[in-house]
């Protein structure tokens, strides 16, 4: 696995897992009720919003199943990169303008727009970086290193899932709306990675 001829596959597999977590998807999915509560929804509404994002995730994954071989891996990753980047920037702008330290009154219309943008983000992830982060490494490693390569892939994914999950609430408290700009910056970087490498 560490031989020179296997290095490109290893780098791509590890990078995909790191980027997959740095989109912020797990932070959004883990903390969706907290996020929606912070945005101004009541406790019940935030739970319903979390269920809604989960449903969007499942339905969009089905889209990926039927489109990945027709459109190709690279096209899906790049299209989703644009969609995730724009939706996170819109969320950051809305929250930056409307939600202040001493006011969480987002307004009904803006709150719905934030939920729609989060659903847009989740759908883009679910038909691209979510499933393809696992598919591409399994196709890329040669047979002799596939099992070891997939083991490294899973370890990197779980390590970064842990790091993001542990850091997200502190980052949300400190960055506030900037958390979405932080993750959108990563989406920008990973889209360039796909475009050029």
Q: Does residue 1 fall inside a structural domain? A: no
Domain boundaries, position 127: 11-196
Q: Does residue 130 fall inside a structural domain? A: yes
* Total number of domains in the chain: 1
Q: Does residue 185 fall inside a structural domain? A: yes
DSSP-derived secondary structure for the chain: --SGGGHHHHHHHHHHHHHHHHTTHHHHHHTHHHHHHHHT--HHHHHHHHHHHHHHHHHHHHHHHHHHHHH-HHHHHHHHHHHHHHHHHHHHHHHHHH-BTTB----HHHHHHHHHHHHHHHHHHHTTHHHHHHHHHHHHS-GGGHHHHHHHHHHHHHHHHHHHHHHHHHHHHHHTTHHHHHHHHHHHHHHHHHHH-
Q: Does residue 32 fall inside a structural domain? A: yes
Q: Does residue 38 fall inside a structural domain? A: yes
Q: Does residue 120 fall inside a structural domain? A: yes
Q: Does residue 110 fall inside a structural domain? A: yes
Q: Does residue 2 fall inside a structural domain? A: no
What pLDDT tens digit does each residue of the chain (197 aa) get? 889 999 999 999 999 999 999 998 987 887 777 777 766 677 777 777 778 888 999 999 999 999 999 999 999 999 999 999 999 999 899 888 877 665 556 677 887 888 889 999 999 999 999 999 999 999 999 999 999 999 999 999 999 999 998 998 898 889 888 999 999 999 999 999 999 98
- Domain of 44, CATH number, reads 1.20.1250.20
């Amino acid at each position: 696995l560490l031989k020179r001829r296997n290095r490109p596959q290893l780098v791509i597999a590890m990078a995909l897992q790191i980027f997959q977590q740095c989109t912020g998807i797990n932070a959004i999915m883990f903390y969706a009720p907290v996020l929606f509560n912070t945005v101004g929804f009541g406790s019940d509404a935030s739970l319903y919003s979390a269920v809604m994002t989960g449903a969007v995730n499942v339905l969009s994954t089905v889209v990926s199943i039927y489109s990945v071989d027709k459109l190709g891996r690279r096209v899906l990753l790049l299209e989703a990169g644009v969609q995730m980047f724009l939706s996170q920037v819109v969320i950051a702008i809305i929250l930056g303008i409307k939600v202040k330290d001493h006011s969480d009154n987002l307004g009904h219309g803006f709150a719905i727009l934030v939920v729609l943008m989060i659903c847009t983000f989740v759908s883009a992830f679910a038909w691209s970086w979510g499933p393809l982060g696992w598919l591409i490494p399994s196709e890329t490693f040669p047979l002799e290193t596939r099992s070891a390569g997939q083991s490294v892939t899973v370890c990197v994914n779980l390590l970064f899932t842990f790091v993001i999950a542990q850091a997200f609430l502190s980052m949300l408290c400190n960055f506030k709306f900037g958390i979405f700009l932080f993750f959108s910056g990563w989406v920008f970087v990973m889209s360039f990675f796909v475009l050029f490498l």
